Structure 1
């Protein structure tokens, strides 16, 4: 999946927590939000804050779909609350390959 395509998909599924997201879709969206937030913070802290709030829901949605792709519940995103260990675990899970067929394939 290409950069533009993944951004388009993530915004078209703005609050869609069902289904699965492939690894490249998630990581391209992470790159986009990080770079855009950095660029906006150089221009204006307010603009960066507004952008971060506007992209929070699609970021959580694509994160949940990415965890679904590894056969985990989207609620596992809350593990980031545990400093350092939680972040490392999430990064490892998000970087894993797809599991093939799993319980999240037939969500409607």
Structure 2
């Protein structure tokens, strides 16, 4: 849960790097919340729940859009790629597969053009001495 909150605190930070752990925990918790809200939408018969995205899920999706893009951009930075690669998410299947491949890769060791390696930091952001 700490990684989820950490990513939310950096909701509009598109600079720097995000290690795999930060991205995938954020993704996993988002998935769980989305499933729970979808179930709640279905039980409550909120507007849009019959079409797949009810009121609760829709509001959550809008609220989490910017933090999701930001953590994705930082994840791409960790492997040495520009955040513009996130535009691949607009391509239906191929874009998803390419981004999935990028997101599972290990980050570049040391410092790259986007900042220091987050694995070489401890306590979520504090550099080791």
Give the TM-score normalised by the residue count of structure 1.
Answer: 0.91
1:73 Cα offset (Å) = 0.7
2:101 matched residue in structure 1? 92
1:41 is aligned to 38
Per the TM alignment, residue 50 of structure 1 is displaced from its structure 2 partner at its CA by 0.5
Runs of 4+ in 1 over 4 A off after TM superposition: none
Matched, 1:28 2:37: no
Give the drift of 1:14.
1.0
1:50-103 deviations in whole A, cap 9, x for unaligned?
A: 011100110000000000000001110101222211111100000000112211
Hey, what does 2:69 align to over in structure 1? 60
Task: Give, in whole Å, the separation in 1 of the partners of 2:105 and 2:23.
Answer: 12
Q: 1:5: how far off?
A: 1.6
Which structure shows the higher helix fraction? 1
Gaps of 5+ in 1: none
